[in-house]
Amino acid sequence: MQRFEYLIKRFILAIVVILSVMVLTFFISRVLPSDPAAAWAGSHPTAEQIAIANQRLGLDQPLHVQFWRYFTSVLQGDLGTSLQTKQPIARDLRTYLPATMELVFCAMLLAVVVGIPLGVLSGAYKGSFFDHLTRLVSISGVSIPTFWLGLLLQLFFFSQLKILPLGSRISTATAINNPVTQLTGFYLIDTAVTGNWAAFKDTLLHLVLPACTLATYPVALAIRMTRSNIIEVLSEKYILAARITGLPRRTILFDLALKNAIIPTITVLGLSFAYSLTGDILIEIIYSWPGLGSYITGAVLAIDFPVIVSVTLFVTVIYVFINLILDLLQAMLDPRVSLE
């Protein structure tokens, strides 16, 4: 019963946050100096064309009527139409989002596979050369600007070694000779399912540099969080008892200590996942990655407010949903967490 009440409270709070963001972004987009009707009508529009665009977009109606129309449309899954592409924004999101999600998933996988084990070993061998080296790597990871790191990796692996592509999601030659059959929008999955191994290899090579660049910050966070938590857990009495009984060090570290130290790391990585959806804008620009970051950048440059508002709302929903899941997961895994 207590968990159900906690879930209801968190759900109501999530709805309030989403509604607040909807109201703020909508009214701010209307207050800022711009002319969406002129952008919709095209270059050098006449007064008549602008008036027609105002009527078509509903901009000639009172502000509260415009908001209610927008609110009801969102509830029906209609995010509006882009002033730049003249396409439904929901359709544009289905086009651009899979590329970003594939990149973010790969980056988070690296954070889990690389960051957590390094954090465990760093905490277990506190004060050793390996610990100092790992801490240096983690501090560098949270300090280095991602755009600078991306340019440096391009310079080294593309210009000097010539072993990885400069950017884009797939090479033009592969896209022509071995076109990807769109099933999920995730190229690695689509090419593997259809047996298009030439495109799979090419896609994987194009993913390496942007995924590693994007993973730098979450990997560093995973190392730092896991290390500090492992050091704290290893001082607990039950760990001392496990050592006295003669359990292998690997079992103590990865079966006993990590189980209790992993919860804060999962929380941090979950928030990093939500942040990366739009936090990779510079990375997508550097690597010419056709994802959500490139889409929202074009919308900002074109003052495409429907896209800006819709993407902001979409990312807010992702943030709120992940926060809700993390809170519930933490409450389930750690009985010390109060369900209030």
Q: Which residue has the higher pLDDT, 197 or 84?
A: 197
**Is the pLDDT reported for residue 212 higher than 90?**
yes
156 confidence band (pLDDT: 50, 70, 90): very high
Mean pLDDT score across all residues of the chain: 84
Domains present along the chain, CATH in parentheses: 1-84+302-340 (no CATH), 91-293 (1.10.3720.10)
Supply the pLDDT for residue 118. 92
Supply the pLDDT for residue 190. 93
Percent of the chain surpassing pLDDT 70: 91
**Is the pLDDT reported for residue 29 higher than 70?**
yes
Between helix 197-233 and helix 258-279 the angle, nearest 10°, is 130
Supply the pLDDT for residue 338. 52
Supply the pLDDT for residue 335. 57
238 confidence band (pLDDT: 50, 70, 90): confident
Supply the pLDDT for residue 102. 93
Contact of 34 with 307, CB cutoff 8 Å: no
How many residues are given for the chain?
340
**Is the pLDDT reported for residue 116 higher than 60?**
yes
> pLDDT by residue (tens digit) across 245-304?
878 888 888 778 887 778 788 888 887 887 787 777 889 889 989 988 888 888 887 778
Supply the pLDDT for residue 299. 83
Supply the pLDDT for residue 333. 63
Closest CA to 92 of 340, 307, 323: 307
98 confidence band (pLDDT: 50, 70, 90): very high
Supply the pLDDT for residue 297. 84
pTM (2 decimals)?
0.83
Q: What mean pLDDT comes out for the span 186-190? A: 93
Supply the pLDDT for residue 205. 94
Q: What mean pLDDT comes out for the span 20-24? A: 86
Supply the pLDDT for residue 337. 54
3-state per-residue secondary structure call for 80-117:
CECCCCCCEHHHHHHHHHHHHHHHHHHHHHHHHHHHHH
**Is the pLDDT reported for residue 30 higher than 80?**
no
For 312-319, the CB contacts below 8 A with 24+ separation are 312/21, 312/25, 313/18, 313/21, 313/22, 313/25, 313/74, 313/79, 314/79, 314/93, 315/274, 315/277, 315/278, 316/17, 316/18, 316/21, 317/18, 318/274, 318/277, 319/274
Contact of 265 with 46, CB cutoff 8 Å: no
